[in-house]
Amino acid sequence: MAEAGQRLILAFDFGTRRIGVAVGNEMIRSARPLDPLPARDGIPDWAVVARLVEAWRPDLFVVGLPLEVDGSEAEMCARARKFGKRLFGRYGIPCEMVDERGSTREAKAIAREAGHRGNYRDEGVDGISAVLILESWFARREGLPPG
């Protein structure tokens, strides 16, 4: 495993139908979206996840925690935590949860600014959300405000 500051990270924007994915490098604080994982009621094809883990060999997983506006947890938080625990259980790679409030709304705004209109599923909003989650994690590690 790489030392803190030099890690490769896979970030996930958990959803029941799609799970956004991004890969990032902690040293240069960069992230880019990958293809989303299709899911059935929040359960991905674990063989696809295994191929992703094998291809990128991450040192850390980051999973977005969809907190309510007031900071409280709803049902989706429990499901996102369970997904994070399954990642750790299957691959033995540490997993950190990060507040993702507003990431989907911001991702849709980014897609609109890029000229996409309406069909967010086909326009990478899930991946953009995962990038925003990872960028938020980078900022938190540096003590900086996200964005």
CATH of the domain at 90: 3.30.420.140
Unique residue bearing structure tokens 């990872």: 134
In a domain, residue 2? The reply is: no
What is the distance of C-alpha 2 from the center of its chain?
20
Q: What pLDDT score was predicted for residue 131?
A: 92
In a domain, residue 133? The reply is: yes
Asked if pLDDT for residue 117 goes beyond 60, the answer is: no
Banded pLDDT at 126 (limits 50, 70, 90): confident
pTM (predicted TM-score): 0.84
In a domain, residue 147? The reply is: no
Please give the residue range of the domain that contains residue 112: 8-142
Element (H, E) at 39: strand 30-40
In a domain, residue 61? The reply is: yes
Tokens encoding 112: 């609109």
Q: What pLDDT score was predicted for residue 147?
A: 47
Return the closest-CA partner of residue 76 out of 54, 104, 51.
Answer: 104
In a domain, residue 82? The reply is: yes
Instruction: Please state the domain count of the chain.
Output: 1
Q: What pLDDT score was predicted for residue 140?
A: 85
The answer to which of 18-32, 45-59, 80-94, 101-115 has the lowest mean pLDDT is: 101-115
